[in-house]
Amino acid sequence: MKYYSKTPEDWKKYDEEKEKKDNLRKIQKKRQRINNLIIIFISLFAIIVIISSKYYFPRYNFGDSVMINSISFSILASNKYTFPDNLEITVNMFNTGSAVKDIKIDSFKFIIYKMTNSASTTFYKFEYNNIISYKLQPLENKKIFDLNSINPISKIPNGNYIIETQFNYNGRIIKLKKEIEYIHTIKYNIYLDKAFYLTNEYPKLYIEVKNYSAETKNVNIIGKLKIYTKNRKLKKEIPINFGYTLLKTLEAKSYEINIPPIEKGIYELYFVNDKLNQVVYIPLAITDNIEKRLKNINLSVDTYLFYPVNHLFEGYFYINNLNFKKEKFLEIEGYTIRLINLENNVIVFNYENNEKKRVYINAGGKSIIHFISSNPPVKLSIPGNYRLIFAVKSNENTIERSMDLYVGISK
C-alpha cells in the first residue's frame, strides 16, 4: 500500500481554507450570541410591560379588543358604513384556551356617541344590569350583545360615531371602544355590456350614478375615462360630461358611452371624478379572435358536499382556464344545471340558459357563470344522495362536470 503526502503548495492552500472556515465559524457564533441577547432582551421587555400593565392598570382595558385570562373580548363592527346600511355591531367573547371557562358578566352597557366637532352626544344607549352566567367551551365564540337583534338601526345621519361598551367580567371592569364612520354620498359604478370585444368593435360602457343619502341631490355627471395598458401607459383619455341630474334617495341612473375601437390587448379602464374624489375601475379585454371550441378549460362548482335536510342549496359555477400563460376569449351558446335525487330519480332543480355569451378568463384564472342562492330558493326537502350536473356548450362541443352531494338530518 502506498501513501502520498501533500506538496507545500497544497498544504498552504489547505491552511488558508481552514483559516477561512474557522473565521466564518467565529462570525456565526458571534451573530448567534447577539441574536440570543436580542431575544432575551425582547422577552424581558415584554414581561416587564405585562407585569407593569397589570400593576398600574389592573382594572382598565380600552380598545376594540382585549385579552383576559385566555378570554378575548371584542367589538366587531365595520370601520365604514354607507347609507342605508344597518349597523351590524356585536360584542363577542372567545375562549382561546383549552379549558372550559366559567363566565359571569354584569352591569353591561353599550353606548353609541355621535361626534360633532370636538363634542359628542349620546345617539343610542343600552343597559343590562342582571348577571349573565355562561360556560364558555374551548375555542368557542359567543355573542354577548348583538345590536341588530336588540334594536336594528339604519339610515342614521352622516358623520363619525364612537361605540363604547363596559361591563364587569368575573370582578374586572372591561372597557372597549371603536370608532366608525357612517357615510352619505354619491357613488359611481361602471360596467361593460360584454366580457370582451373585437378590435373592430365599439366597446359599450355604462356609467351608473346612485344617491346613497337621505336627501335629493343635484349631481353633475362629469369626469374622465382613462384607458391604460398593462405597463401603466395612458392609451386613451375621454372627457365625460352628461350635465346635471336630480337623484332622489337611493335613486340610480345610467349613462351610455361608446368607446372607439382599440387594438388587441388587456387594458385597465378607469372613470375618474375629481369633485367627489372617486375612481372606479374595470378591465377592458380586446382580441382579434373568438374561441368557439371549449378546450384547455374545465368546470368547477363551489358548494357544500353535505346539507342538512330542508336547507337551501347554494353554489357558484365557474369555467376555469387551464392555460397558465394565455387568456381565454370564449363564446358559449348556453349552460345547464341539474340537481337530481338519486334514490327517487327526481329532478329537484333544472335550469337551462340558451343565451349566447362571451366569457373572458385570465391566464390560469376562472370566471363565474352562474350563482344559486335564495332567489329562486332550491329547498332540499328529500334526504338522500344527490347528483349535481353542470354543463356548458358552444357551437362546436359541450363539457360537463358532475359531483355527488348528500342531504341528511343533522343531529
Pairing of strands 80-82, 217-228: unpaired
Q: Structural domains in the chain?
A: 65-183 (2.60.40.10), 186-287 (2.60.40.10), 297-408 (2.60.40.2550)
Q: Which residues of the chain have pLDDT under 70?
A: 1-63, 410-411
Lookup: cell for 54: 397589570
**Per-residue pLDDT at 6:** 44
What single DSSP character describes residue 383?
Answer: -
**Could you give phi then psi for residue 25, rounded to 5 degrees?**
-65, -40
**Per-residue pLDDT at 133:** 93
Q: Pick the closest to residue 255 from 266, 265, 245 (CA basis).
A: 245
* Close Cβ partners of 175 (under 8 Å, ≥ 6 residues apart): 60, 61, 62, 164, 165, 166
Q: What is the DSSP string of 2-51?
A: ---PPPHHHHHHHHHHHHHHHHHHHHHHHHHHHHHHHHHHHHHHHHHHHH
**Strand boundaries in 148-251, DSSP class E:** 159-169, 172-183, 185-192, 197-198, 204-212, 217-228, 234-247
Spatial distance between the Cα atoms of 102 and 268, rounded to a whole number of angstroms: 55
Spatial distance between the Cα atoms of 103 and 109, rounded to a whole number of angstroms: 17
Residue 12's CB: how many other CB atoms inside 10 A? 11
Q: Pick the closest to residue 232 from 277, 186, 268 (CA basis).
A: 268
Integer CA distances (angstroms), 222 to 86, 191, 209, 329, 386, in order: 31, 17, 11, 33, 53
